[in-house]
């Protein structure tokens, strides 16, 4: 079974190879929280051939799991070392803290990283302000409230940028950007020159495409670009109008 890094954070060559091949090899995951998110993760991961242990302090929560679920069910607190050990944290490739409590999720994430040396840790955080703080401390967070609000706004006000990822410093964002129909037929290089953004990929008829500078935007393309976070609105305003003569 694949283990996380040792206490000094050093991975052997074999472990690094396994991490790179995680999409095809069977590894072990530990999940804290047997709510809808936690059980969905557990079922999805086991369906992909991985082993899973799920921890929850309420044994009744495990009823959400299907009868055929073959993973471990551990009753206890997700930040309790005994419960984590019983769940196989010392052999885990990754840990997800998705309980309903921000404090519990953060404590569990820190214990798993700092005590057991698991590098791949994700915590669900409802408070978006706290999520940014912990993200900068190196703990990957999913800010549920902000994500939900962004998704609702995206549907209420479709003409705008949708942030899909921000780096840990918050300075760079990967955004889905709307484009005026006038940009159809323009090259990726022309878009980048006009906006200062870097086109990361295009979604074209449901498929992802990593473009080169000479590729041309087509009707129905969805543009995903890397932008400095403080320039997202400016970039979107440029793309909301037809390209100017000097931009095209």
- Lookup: tokens for 235: 């970039």
pLDDT in tens, 125-150: 888 777 777 777 777 888 777 767 76
Give 3's pLDDT tier (boundaries 50, 70, 90). Answer: very low
- Lookup: tokens for 13: 């060559």
* Same domain (yes/no): 73, 47: yes
- For the chain, what is the domain count? 2
Mean pLDDT of the chain: 84
Query: Distance (Å, rounded) from C-alpha 214 to C-alpha 225?
Result: 16
The DSSP 8-state label assigned to residue 100 in this structure reads S
Residue 106 lies in a domain: yes
**For residue 248, pLDDT beyond 90:** no
E-strand ranges in the chain read 28-32, 51-56, 72-75, 94-97, 120-125, 140-143, 162-166, 172-177, 198-204, 207-209, 222-228
Give 155's pLDDT tier (boundaries 50, 70, 90). Answer: low
SS3 243: coil
Residue 5 lies in a domain: no
Q: Which of 113, 148, 183 is the last residue of a domain?
A: 148
What is the pLDDT at residue 126?
85
Q: The CATH number of the domain where 168 resides is what?
A: 3.30.70.1450
* Same domain (yes/no): 207, 114: no
φ, ψ of residue 201 in degrees (nearest 5): -165, 165
54: nearest Cα among 116, 108, 103: 108
184: nearest Cα among 214, 219, 215: 219
Q: 52-74 as b/e, with b when 16 or more CB fall inside 10 Å?
A: bbbbbbeeebbebbeeebebbbb
Q: Give the pLDDT mean for 155-177.
A: 75
DSSP 171-187: SEEEEEE---GGGTT-B
What is the pLDDT at residue 147?
66
Residue 1 lies in a domain: no
Residue 2 · residue 69 · CB < 8 Å: no
* Same domain (yes/no): 48, 97: yes
pLDDT in tens, 191-215: 999 999 999 999 988 788 999 999 9
φ, ψ of residue 198 in degrees (nearest 5): -120, 120
- Lookup: tokens for 104: 């519990």
Give 246's pLDDT tier (boundaries 50, 70, 90). Answer: low
Domain that holds residue 222: 158-240
pLDDT in tens, 11-51: 444 444 444 445 547 899 999 999 999 999 999 999 999 99
What is the pLDDT at residue 14?
42
Q: Give the pLDDT mean for 177-190.
A: 93
Q: What does DSSP say about strands 51-56 and 28-32: parallel, antiparallel, or unpaired?
A: parallel
Report which of residues 154 and 130 the model is more confident about: 130
What is the pLDDT at residue 214?
94
- Sign of dihedral through CA atoms 44, 90, 144, 205? negative
Q: The CATH number of the domain where 39 resides is what?
A: 3.40.50.720
Residue 245 lies in a domain: no
């Amino acid at each position: 079974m694949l283990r996380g890094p040792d206490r000094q954070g050093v991975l052997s060559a074999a472990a690094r190879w396994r991490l790179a091949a995680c999409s095809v090899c069977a590894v072990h995951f530990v999940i804290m929280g047997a709510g809808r998110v936690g059980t969905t993760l557990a079922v999805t991961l086991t369906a992909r051939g991985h082993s899973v242990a799920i921890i929850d302090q309420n044994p009744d929560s495990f009823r959400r799991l299907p009868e055929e679920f073959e993973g471990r069910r551990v009753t206890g607190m997700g930040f309790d070392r005994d419960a984590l050990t019983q769940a196989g944290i010392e052999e885990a490739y990754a840990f997800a803290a998705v309980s309903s409590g921000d404090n519990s999720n953060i404590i569990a994430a820190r214990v798993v990283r700092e005590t057991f040396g698991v590098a791949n840790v994700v915590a669900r955080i409802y408070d978006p302000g706290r999520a940014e703080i912990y993200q900068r401390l190196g703990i990957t967070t999913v800010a549920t409230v902000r994500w939900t609000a962004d998704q609702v706004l995206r549907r209420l006000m479709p003409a705008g940028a949708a942030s899909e990822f921000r780096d840990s410093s918050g300075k760079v964002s990967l955004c889905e950007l709307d484009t005026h129909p006038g940009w159809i037929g323009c090259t990726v290089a022309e878009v980048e020159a006009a906006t200062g953004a870097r086109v990361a990929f295009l979604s074209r008829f449901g498929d992802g495409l990593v473009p080169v500078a000479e590729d041309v935007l087509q009707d129905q393309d969805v543009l995903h670009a890397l932008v400095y976070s403080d320039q997202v609105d400016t970039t979107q305003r440029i793309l909301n109008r037809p390209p100017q003569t000097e931009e095209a």
